[in-house]
Structure 1
Amino acid sequence: MMKDGAYVHGGGLDAAVARFGGSRADWLDLSTGINPTPAGLPALGPEVWTCLPDAGLQTKCIEAARRAYGAPETAGIVAAPGSQALISLLPFLLPQGEVAILEPTYGEHRAGFEAAGHRVTGIETIEGLPDGAQITVVVNPNNPDGRRTGREALVALLGEMQRRGGLLVVDEAFADAMPGLSIADMAGEPGLLVHRSLGKFYGLAGVRLGFALTTPGLAETLRRRLGPWAVSGPALAIGTAVLSSAGTREAVARDLEKQAQRRDQVLAKAGLRLLGETPLFATVETQKAGDLFGALCRRHILTRPFSYRLDWLRFGNPRDEAEAARLAGALGDVAREDCP
């Protein structure tokens, strides 16, 4: 596997090239859960590049997000340069206390709360919520194992956090592809914050645009701490156009369904046990995950290993039949190497 720290998140292609050779163009990067077929970009006027983004541009983007995510008018929504910025900032705005995180999951939630001085407890089920927890974090659907937490369970958990005077944080970075899981329509309820991300579903991670959907008061606190012009004009304009288009959303969803079918067929044919999946990634469980990661890297195919689960390997989506065939061929080669 990679040296410690070289591959904490997906997308570490430069580190892979440095160790296994080739150029970036030689590699098939399946290490992220980002749609490899991005939505089309709108034409942008020169003013979005040359002027500071004014309040009107931000308002248009936030209202497009409200409609796209089904958030009510009572919800406060703040735009940020990626949901990661919000994940890192939020813990510093909350009173220090005990935080329960449904784990294993996206590690930056724990990192952010620990950096802000909170006591963090990992829980395996939401039924295992510690008595003293004032903040609970659930990623839904979960990254990296695809675990789903049903809406009824989340609503009940929200009720518990409200009784405690606490906060439920639901990270819905992958929920665009599985909208039935979302509780964004409840944003504005006391004690709830929902993270949403533009980049993964639409394949536009480089735009760096994310949203927090919460109470107006907490949204205003986040907005003040982010400061003026936190999101670039191009990002706001792209977000407005993409989120306003129901046709784009439906076309992306259809394409992701095809991508996921190709991906899962390749993994099944290779005899890999599927631990969990979403339309944007699949995670397999195998005692040879480390060996498989390295063997695929030698064939310039990058996947996502996990230091805390050495038997897990996550695969993003091949963009088309050609990429799926390349992955299938590589997996077949590896299997033949193991069975001389």
Structure 2
Amino acid sequence: MRVGAIVAEDGIWHGGDLAMARVLFPEAPQPWVDLSTGINPIPYPLPALPLSLWTRLPGADDEAALIAAARSAYRVPQQADIVAAPGTQILIELLPRLAPAGPVAILGPTYAEHGHAWRKAGFTVTEAPTPAEAATVVVVNPNNPDGRVLSRVELADLAAHCTERGGLLVVDEAFADFTPETSIVPDLPAGTIVLRSFGKTYGLAGLRLGFAIGAVDPIARLRAALGPWSVAGPALHVGAQALADADWLAVTGAERARDAARLDALLAPHGRIAGGTSLFRLLETPAAPALFDRLGRHGIYVRRFQNAPQRLRFGLPGDEAGWSRLRSALADDAPEATPPA
């Protein structure tokens, strides 16, 4: 099977596309074990939601409660501002409105939607392991997919580099919740916008909730671009409760770190563990295309990369059945059974 023959309409491969998995592997056993995302497989327990959250427009008090919880959870400085959005993807699309004309440097390889958004907005984009002389620099920290982390000192130096050129530093901290020491938010430098994602850590990606943090003026411009009622009432309610639950975050962070170590042990015989976070691990092996194909035939979908065919990214199984299927598929002794009736 030519597993690389089908791509997304925008040319970017994403995780979580089980429709694609079914096309590639129509005879795979069901249900699928989807390890192609970096989403926590054991979500935050949803609270009971009042019917009114579905029948009325989101209220200002609900939004204020969410923002207060987010400011505390992300340790936002008093002089900085924060805006909520229906996921960080829309914020990625809006960020080019805040930057001056000129080239953009993205520290990569990394999440492809950053470069895609800036190119759509007419910017010249360079993706490289180190920043060029561009005024605007984008960093994913911890990085997706290899988990690379720049220190606060390194990020502050990058922010100074951008400020001197009248530009912007964008730091995407989508995977920073379990490693708060990596976040630059508490010491937010001038000219910096930080993105935070809710759905990945809390396992509720379908809720569509994300945040941008920065100085008052650029955050006000993002808020105006988003318009009123940009975040749904249920997302405001669930987000406020979850972000205030520090105990859940601490316990879950420790559990996912143990799961990541367990996954490393399973993957190590099959190649080099090239990094990752506690929500996903990156495997490098010349046999990656064959391994992707083998796993897919066993109903296990992992993340591949069109520009790095030797890499596969593995999310975490969410239960023992998923762990067992992954272990068997890696050993190539899993029965390619007919889907259960």
Q: Same fold by TM (over 0.5)?
A: yes
Residue-by-residue CA offset, 1:201-226 (whole Å, 9 max, x unaligned):
11111110000001111111000011
Which of 38, 59, 77 in structure 2 is aligned with 1:72?
A: 77
Which TM-score applies when normalising by structure 1?
0.93
**Residue 254 and residue 22 in structure 1: after superposition, are their counterparts in 2 closer, same or farther (change >3 A)?**
farther
Q: TM-score, normalised by structure 2?
A: 0.92
Q: Decide whether aligned partners of structure 1 residues 329 and 25 sit closer, same or farther in structure 2, where only a CA change above 3 A counts.
A: closer
Structure 1 stretches of at least 4 aligned residues deviating more than 6 Å after TM superposition? none
Distance of aligned partners of 1:219 and 1:25 in 2 relative to their CA distance in 1, 3 Å threshold: farther
Task: Give SS of 1:78's match.
Answer: strand
Aligned residues: 329
- Are the counterparts in 2 of residues 197 and 209 from structure 1 also a CA contact under 8 Å? yes
Matched, 1:61 2:63: no
Q: CA separation in 2, counterparts of 1:20 and 1:79?
A: 38
Secondary structure at 1:130's aligned position in 2?
coil
What secondary structure is seen at the aligned counterpart in 2 of 1:175?
coil
1:190 is displaced (CA, Å) by 2.2
Is the 1:162–1:191 Cα contact (8 Å) retained in structure 2? yes
How far apart, CA to CA, are the structure 1 residues paired with 2:320 and 2:28?
Answer: 22
Matches within 5 A, 1:83-102: 83-102=88-107
**Equivalent in the alignment of 1:263:** 263
Distance in 1 (CA, whole Å) between partners of 2:142 and 2:132 is 22
SS of 1:42's partner is coil
State the distance in 1 between where 2:29 and 2:100 align: 44
Aligned to 2:283: 284
1:227-280 Cα deviation digits (max 9, x unpaired)? 110110000111000001111211221221222122112112x33210112101
Q: Does 2:38 align with 1:33?
A: yes
Other-structure match for 2:169: 168
Q: 1:332 to 1:25 in 2, by over 3 A?
A: closer
Q: Deviations over 1:169-213 (max 9, x none)?
A: 0000001122111111134x4200000000111111111000000
The SS at the match of 1:73 is coil
Would you say the 8 A contact 1:292–1:334 is kept in 2?
Answer: no
CA contact (8 A) 1:259 1:320 kept: no
Give the conservation status (yes or no) of the 8 Å contact 2:28–2:298: no
Q: Is 2:12 the counterpart of 1:5? A: no
Could you say if the C-alpha distance between residues 212 and 25 of structure 1 is closer, same or farther in structure 2, counting changes exceeding 3 Å? farther
- Taking the aligned partners of 1:203 and 1:22, their CA distance within structure 2 comes to 28
User: What is the Cα deviation at residue 108 of structure 1?
Assistant: 0.5
Percent identity, aligned pairs only, is 48
Q: Which amino acid aligns with 1:329?
A: S
User: Match of 1:338?
Assistant: none
Q: CA offsets, 1:127-152, max 9 Å, x none?
A: xx323x11100001110111111222
How big is each residue's C-alpha offset from its partner over 1:80-131, in whole Å with a ceiling of 9 and x where there is no partner? Answer: 0000110011113433221100010000100000011111111212xxx323
TM-fit CA distance, 1:313: 0.5
3-state SS of the aligned residue for 2:332? Answer: helix
Which residue of structure 1 lines up, in the alignment, with residue 159 of structure 2? 158
Residue number in structure 2 paired with 1:315: 314
Do the aligned residues in 2 keep the contact of 1:170 with 1:194 (CA within 8 Å)?
Answer: yes
The AA in structure 1 aligned to 2:132 is P
Paired residue for 1:44?
49
Unaligned runs of 5+ in 1: 336-340
SS at match of 2:177: helix
2:299 is matched with which residue? Answer: 300
Higher helix share: 1
Q: Give the deviation of 1:334 after TM superposition.
A: 7.2
Q: CA deviation at 1:325?
A: 2.1
